Amino acid sequence: MDDLLNIYVCITAPLLLMFFMIKNDSKKLNLFLILGMSACLAASYVNVYLIELTGYSGIQVTYYVTPICEEMIKALPVLIYVAIFKPESENIITASMAIGIGFATLENCYYIMMDGARDFIFLLLRGFATGVMHGMCTAIIGFGLAYVLGQKIQAFTGIFGLLCAAITYHATYNLLISSRGLVENIGICLPVATALFALAIIYKPYNRLNTSRRYQARHMNRNHRHHAQHAQK
Amino acid sequence: MQKNKYFVVSLITAGIASAVSAYMMIAKPIRLELALNWIQLGCLFPALYCTIDCAGKDKTNLFCQFQVGAVSCFALGQIYWVLHLLIIGYDERTFSISDLSWIGFYLFLFSAVFGFINPIIKDKKKELRKYRAAALLAPAAFIAAGAVQLLEVIQNGFGDIFYVAVYTAVMAPLSYYTFKLSILPEKIDLRLKAMRPYNILILAIMTVDTAWTFSDLANHGSLFCLCEFLLCILLLSIAPTAYGGIRKWTTC
């Protein structure tokens, strides 16, 4: 655990220095990355406590405890950010992604420290998979928050619902990645596949909407020109 | 036409699910519990497609977005549970994360019912008092069922007290609103009539789910299979019913 704290200090110290040099959006992004790493550090301490409390084995903790604990700790900075600053939906999603990626960065370091480097390709794939998975799980909560913001009771039930979804997704990833062979490979591919699927769903309605708006604009222009010509005559 | 599209997709999936279920029960190529979970998972993908397509038609309609959230939650829980059965097997000692997702499913449904259908009636009217009182029967029934389940869990040491309590806490208010909205007379607001099939459907899902938990606790095989199958059909009905209700709502 002390090693993880050392790595945390090593990574966050230069990032904190950079924090005073950069401006606006980059500054925010930097801060969220640091917050994500801090969440990872906090989660690792809580996980150690929960191992003692539940009496589960290491693998059982990975299956049943860490998804709940990590997702709740990761969601906290997003919730605080939204509650205090009331940002725009786009900013919420970016912030939650940054927190998730910051979390994954430190978790990957911890993974290398604990299990050692199996091989470069595996580490590369795992790095991407974990990054996307953590980013996406936090983004689910951020995306949902952007939707339910301004609602009353729906906001609470919606947030809890999304948290439940994020926990289950994380647990599914852990279940697959903890196995060996084909199942593990499926686990590595799962986050990227889900992210692509989610992007396809998110951007499809937007595209449809934009296409219809473009059509409307073109139609209006044509009508306008027609009326202008008619007036000239 | 669009309603028919969702209805047709659901009907075809239900037909295939019935045929596969019948084959699994007769031939038993794999364990029945796992087979039924696979079938349920197979049914959830068309259901998810229908709800996503329905929500994509009007991005500002939060009611449809909540349907997507609900079905996604259920599908995630189902995926996790099937993988859990395949990789780890049935482990009685530990709780299942998939239960969290199924609680999320009910939370989304509660958001939809409480946030969008319930506000259409002015609930404080005196003449509606008898309906409000009658609607209390539904949460009373679910709380009683939850209490019996808790006793069963404590006696047998099988299952999880926390989840039974949380399920009951979520289901009781949801059952109150759905039952109230189902029994209220149509003359109050025509939109109530439009959303009635949806409310009845949610009530039916909760009833079947409770029966499923009882069958699981009591180790009643045939009731368990029946509930699993009924749940498939009911989940498939969410998109056509919600879309039909919303379409009628807009014309009211």
Q: What pLDDT digit, counting tens, does each position of A212-228 carry? A: 545 455 555 555 566 66
Enumerate the residues of chain A whose CB falls inside 8 A of the CB of residue B104: 160-165, 168
Rounded Cα distance between A96 and A36, Å, is 9
Its pTM stands at 0.85
Q: How far off is chain B from A139, nearest CA to CA, in Å?
A: 14
User: Helix axis angle, A182-232 relative to A120-148, nearest 10°?
Assistant: 50
pLDDT digits (tens, 9 = 90+) for A20-76: 888 777 888 889 999 999 999 999 899 888 888 888 887 888 888 889 999 999 999
Nearest C-alpha in B relative to A174: B80
Residue A129, both tokens: 């998979």
- Residue B72's domain comprises 2-251
DSSP per-residue string spanning A52-114: HHH---HHHIIIIIHHHHHHHHHHHHHHHHHHHH---HHHHHHHHHHHHHHHHHHHHHHHHHH
DSSP string covering A159-225: HHHHHHHHHHHHHHHHHHHTS-THHHHHHHHHHHHHHHHHHHHHHHHHHHHHHHHHHHHHHHHHHHH
- A19: amino acid identity, one letter: F
Which DSSP symbol is given to B114?
Answer: I
Number of domains in chain B: 1
pLDDT at B141: 93
Domain boundaries, chain A: 2-232
Percent of chain B as helix, strand, coil, to the nearest 5 = 85, 0, 15
What pLDDT shows up at residue A118? Answer: 65
Report CA-CA distances (Å) from A197 to A212, B47, B86: 23, 16, 24
Cβ neighbours of A59 (radius 10 Å): 11
Structure tokens at A31: 């801060």
Closest-CA distance, B26 to chain A, in angstroms, reads: 30
Residues of chain B where predicted confidence (pLDDT) is lower than 70: 1-4, 90-95, 123, 157-159, 252
Q: Do A152 and B115 touch (CB under 8 A)?
A: yes
Do B135 and B179 form a contact (C-beta atoms < 8 A)? Answer: yes
Contacting residues of B for A164, CB less than 8 Å apart: 73, 100-101, 103-104, 107
